[in-house]
Amino acid sequence: MPVFLHDTMSRELRPLLTKPDKASFGMYCCGPTVYGPAHIGNFRTFILQDVLRRTLEASGIKVKHVRNITDVDDKTIRGALAAGQSLATFTQGWTDKFHKDCTALGLLPPHIEPGAVVHIPQQVAMIEALIKRGHAYVAKDGSVYFKVCSCSDYGKLSHLDRSKLQTQDTNSAGQANDADEYDRESANDFALWKAYKPEDGENFWPSPWGKGRPGWHIECSAMSLEHLGATFDLHGGGVDLCFPHHENEIAQTECATGIKGFAAHWFHSAHLLVEGDKMSKSKGNLYTLEQLIEKGFTPNEVRYALISGHYRTPLNFTLHGVENARSAIAKLERWVDRILPVAGFSRAEFVAPQVHELQTTWGRFAPAWEALQNDLNIPGCLGQIFTVVGEREDPTPAQARQDVCGLAKLLQALGLVLFVAKAEAAIPVEVAELGARRWAAKQGKDFAAADQLRKDLSALGWTMLDRKDGYDLKKA
Ligand code: AMP
Ligand code: ZN
């Protein structure tokens, strides 16, 4: 069965499939604006895109994932000037920080990560094509605007009432649409090229219309065209980007190329909230990954908390939510420790990437996989995982093997890792294996073997503390 996902444009659940003439599934995601640390609201969106990509890959689809870096806009220019740095140095610093956080949170690096600045020639070429085709005009100051009334189906993504377009000057998150700019013919027309202003400092580029810089929307149109072509399979971003950013991307690309069907599928994720309000840099109500690590949480726990709600429902962030994530991961670890000896795997084999490739079956985790395939229902998937974990059944070794492989594949799709930091990093493989064997012996009521294994552990300087549902290994 293919993966089904809700599509913002058609408002339907639709299958995600590779086009017969394409080698891979082209996925474009709007990336971060690098003028400060990304907050965990941003990461909710990036992690959900990562889980979608991993789910497609687990279903056998080859994905080409493009996620840009917005390294030129009002905020980056303002930030660079305030820091007394060049725009390139300033944005590189925040890009490096973003990459560090992405790695810690288990995000797969995109196959292509284009930067807006190095794609200015492509943006200029696209603006020229739009002027030539009668979809854009040059204002007196040398700025260039997109003529919204020239695009007959403008508004199709966000289902805008075109008769109300003249008054539409807030975006889908209710923020002002920068309606104060230059001499536009209509309040709805948006900037493709912004003429130079003294507050831009040294940050300007030449163009046929004089020095200036590109508008924000055109960068994603130019970069997706460059790396995925005029039409591609899926476009993603937070729900605030639906209007006007994505609407404008569609209008720019379709009008510049004359080809309809920019992105076949639109994937918008709902916001991470703090006390009912969107987490955002401008509101200052944010948490960064670093702040949560300082509070003692691991990135893996943060990731779990951020994916625990459905992507189409806003998620309220609380520290209690990350504590719950910690308990859930610990419960999974205990279950895995119990079942590994029955399956004949060690912890090291479980965390090795190969284990999920050993079998194509999902064992008792088939319903959890089906939940993921059905509109990326991650809370449903986690619920199904814990249904299995709570079952009292004793599987045979063959069943246990299937279960272990099924769970390992699911964790791979979710991008979650067990036995990180606290356990696996500290406990040598040899000790972990002795622990698993001793637990299995005790479960099998082979107390002589269990005693011997406890002595073996002790000889290596480790003790094993038993609980009702598992055990901990501690250095003596
Ligand atoms: P930005 O760095 O502001 O360009 O945003 C990068 C990505 O994060 C975009 O896809 C935004 O839609 C998304 N985003 C921003 N704030 C939130 C939030 N509170 N919850 C979820 N996604 C967000
Ligand atoms: Zn974008």
Residue range 84-116, pLDDT digits in tens: 999 999 999 999 999 999 999 999 999 999 999
Q: Which residue has the higher pLDDT, 127 or 474?
A: 127
* Phi, psi values for residue 315, rounded to 5°: -115, 125
Cα first-last separation, the chain: 50
* Residue to mutate, 35, 45, 277, ligand 1, most ligand atoms under 8 Å from C-beta: 45
Give the CATH number of the domain where residue 400 resides: 1.10.730.10
Residue 45 Cβ < 6 Å to ligand 1: yes
**Cα–ligand 2 centroid distance for 192 (angstroms):** 13
* Predicted pLDDT of residue 115: 98
**Cα–ligand 1 centroid distance for 311 (angstroms):** 13
Indicate if 80 and 142 belong to the same structural domain.
yes
Residue 279 Cβ < 6 Å to ligand 1: yes
Express as a percent the part of the chain with pLDDT over 70. 92
How many domains are contained in the chain? 3
**Cα–ligand 2 centroid distance for 168 (angstroms):** 20
* 424 in any annotated domain: no
Confidence category of residue 471, pLDDT binned at 50, 70, 90: confident
Express as a percent the part of the chain with pLDDT over 90. 76
* Predicted pLDDT of residue 439: 82
Confidence category of residue 1, pLDDT binned at 50, 70, 90: confident
Instruction: Please identify, by atom number, the ligand 1 atom nearest to the C-alpha of residue 33.
Output: 2
* Integer CA distances (angstroms), 445 to 27, 439, 440, in order: 53, 10, 9
Quick check: 66 pLDDT over 80?
yes
* Predicted pLDDT of residue 166: 57
Indicate if 190 and 297 belong to the same structural domain.
no
Residue 41 Cβ < 6 Å to ligand 1: yes
Burial of 39 (0-12, 13-18, 19+ CB in 10 A): buried
Give the CATH number of the domain where residue 159 resides: 3.40.50.620
* 419 in any annotated domain: no
Indicate if 277 and 241 belong to the same structural domain.
no
Residue 237 Cβ < 6 Å to ligand 1: yes
Residue 406 one-letter amino acid? G
Indicate if 208 and 280 belong to the same structural domain.
no
Domain end residue (candidates: 246, 269, 292):
269
* 368 in any annotated domain: yes
* Predicted pLDDT of residue 427: 65
CA-proximal residue: ligand 1, atom 15 (nearest): 42
What are 205's strand-pairing partners? 212
Most confident segment among 15-19, 69-73, 428-432: 69-73
* 101 in any annotated domain: yes
Distance CA 19, CA 233 (A): 8
| pLDDT tens by residue, 242-273 | 999 999 999 999 999 999 999 999 999 999 99
* Predicted pLDDT of residue 147: 97
* 423 in any annotated domain: no
Indicate if 29 and 136 belong to the same structural domain.
yes
Indicate if 362 and 229 belong to the same structural domain.
no
* Predicted pLDDT of residue 176: 45
* 420 in any annotated domain: no
Indicate if 395 and 303 belong to the same structural domain.
yes
Residue 68 Cβ < 6 Å to ligand 1: no
Indicate if 265 and 282 belong to the same structural domain.
no
Q: Which ligand is nearest to the CA of 45?
A: 1
| pLDDT tens by residue, 142-178 | 999 999 999 999 999 999 887 777 544 444 444 445 5
* Predicted pLDDT of residue 374: 98
DSSP 205: B
Least confident range from 68-82, 108-122, 265-279, 453-467: namely 453-467
Mean pLDDT (whole number) for 315-336: 96
Domain end residue (candidates: 205, 236, 269):
269
Indicate if 203 and 63 belong to the same structural domain.
yes
* Predicted pLDDT of residue 426: 53
Distance CA 267, CA 311 (A): 9
* 471 in any annotated domain: yes
Residue 14 sits in which domain range?
4-269
* 361 in any annotated domain: yes
Residue 244 Cβ < 6 Å to ligand 1: no
Domain end residue (candidates: 385, 414, 443):
414
Distance CA 177, CA 457 (A): 65
| pLDDT tens by residue, 334-388 | 999 999 999 998 888 887 766 666 667 899 999 999 999 999 999 999 999 999 9
Mean pLDDT (whole number) for 418-430: 63
Indicate if 264 and 278 belong to the same structural domain.
no
Confidence category of residue 464, pLDDT binned at 50, 70, 90: confident
Indicate if 185 and 84 belong to the same structural domain.
yes
Indicate if 208 and 347 belong to the same structural domain.
no
| pLDDT tens by residue, 72-87 | 999 999 999 999 999 9
Calculated CA dihedral for residues 284, 289, 294, 300, nearest 10 degrees: 150
